[in-house]
Structure 1
């Protein structure tokens, strides 16, 4: 499997391919399902862990977005912390979406909607966006993705992105400020990862 294939796996994992994993989310040890063919199937990757450990609690209500959900660690955390909010778990990988749906059901989280990007209604405005974005899709695709979704933040809402320093976190911070006209603040720098808080100027 090439480096980028896990972003575009079309087929949900079969029962034989799925496996159980115990992880810590929102201060709780939970059991989730994962499978090969997705990003970080064997653990909560370090970048996502840094994000989850270094952002303020999400809004208690409204529409929250996990951009590039994988098997769901960010979306599940948002839903656990904000049970009255609606959480959109967005990915282009059908296997990831299927696993996120299964994991939300396993944890009793009826407020998670795991969908492809074009399935989020146009009128939805986001109260928060959390993401460990798929940097390796390349700059043009990444910039298009961030332009689209950061543009859907509600007035006063914040996005929090985690990006590896060696994967261009500092240049991405400059690009968001210059090209999207957003305020971008580095709120944490841990183990080679930057957490960027993005908001209106």
Structure 2
């Protein structure tokens, strides 16, 4: 009887440690965590103290430029405390920043949205390899992964980049982007007329 009671006590101890909520994965702008949607409801569902979380996050990201999206992984413990892991900005964000473009290509493979040098690629790889999911990758594997991501954004990787020529390219590209935005708006309006 006492043996069974002892086993039951051990089982109860291990059962208390089980967390039934999934790890929350979300992007939060640096220094701009707020209690409102979409973050507030996500934290509230997991019984996290929203005000304390926002204060903690904003303090931990105070040195980072405000507004930069930061992928976060939040796991909740049984005592309602949480573990917050903040990753470096997404690779697409870093690649677009390096290329000096606000958005990627609408038709990757058919158009070039921007260009970066191999040096840019290596520097971004050095940042991204520090993220927990990438720690087991070699630098070569990280660079290869970034090459694939750059391709999906329509960013071309070159050995050298002439600043004057690239400035001209970006200027010409603005006209193409404006035309693409206009076409998208026309399609949206046409769809609204059909459904309205």
Q: Which TM class, normalised by the smaller chain length? A: under 0.3
**Larger relative contact order (C-alpha < 8 A, sep ≥ 6)?**
1
Is the helix fraction higher in 1 or 2?
Answer: 2
Mark the structure with the bigger radius of gyration.
Answer: 2
